[in-house]
Amino acid sequence: MTTKKYANYIEKQTRAIYNVMLEPIFDEFIIHLNGKKIGVLYQNQCYLLLTNKAKELLPDAPICRPYKNLPGEKDFILVENTDDEGLLSKLFKETYNELHSWQDLMCDFSYIFTVNRLYMEHIERLYDEFVVLLSSCWDNGFLKNRPIDTKGRIIKLEFRRNDLTPDGEKFFMPFVTKFFSYTDRTAKTPSEKLITKWLNEVKNK
């Protein structure tokens, strides 16, 4: 059994992280971050799902199964030093990142077409803008797979973290933000010179 006092203590130790939730179940607690399971509190001890980063941060920590695991569930690593707020928070975030962040939705451009569905002239302009935007992202190595086919047709409008290259994780959203800030303000497709300027800005920031 895990006491409410211990659960409150873990919540306090990780208060620097947004969206941590402890779900009570059978006198124990499941640890959720952003709605995803990252570990458990079991018999007043903190266990996180095993990740490479956790093994790196806790090289001597026991790897175990504190209870009879569900089919297909990973092993856990025991976090013995929960007094170190910085380390515990880092472990929570790194566990989430390694197990779940690839699923994070980065951008879904399809909603823009939905919003403008009654304005065909807007749809046509937006489509042309998206072709330019997505082609630039592909040409600059931000995306793992080509979003435009060989005939210039868009084949992908929803992008999750696992669609991005390492450069894409750093530069995709800042570049998209600059692109839309300009097109929303001017209703014009940016020139190649302007796109190059934005790319240099986001890469050198």
pLDDT at 70 over 70: no
**Domain range summary for the chain, segments of one domain joined by +:** 4-102, 104-204
CB contact at 8 A, 161 and 144: no
DSSP assignment of 72-127: TPPPEEEE---S-HHHHHHHHHHHHHHHTGGG-EEEETHHHHHHTTT-HHHHHHHH
Residue 143: what pLDDT? 97
pLDDT at 24 over 80: yes
pLDDT at 199 over 70: yes
* Greater pLDDT, 18 or 155: 155
Fold exhibited by the domain 4-102: Yope Regulator; Chain: A, (3.30.1460)
Residue 46: what pLDDT? 98
CB contact at 8 A, 51 and 94: yes
- Closest Cα to residue 74, out of 52, 50, 93, 94? 50
Q: Which residues of 43-58 are buried (b: 16+ CB within 10 A; e: fewer)?
A: eeebbbbbbeebeebb
pLDDT at 103 over 80: no
* Most confident segment among 66-75, 110-119, 146-155: 146-155
How high is the mean pLDDT of the chain? 90
Share of the chain above pLDDT 90, in %: 66
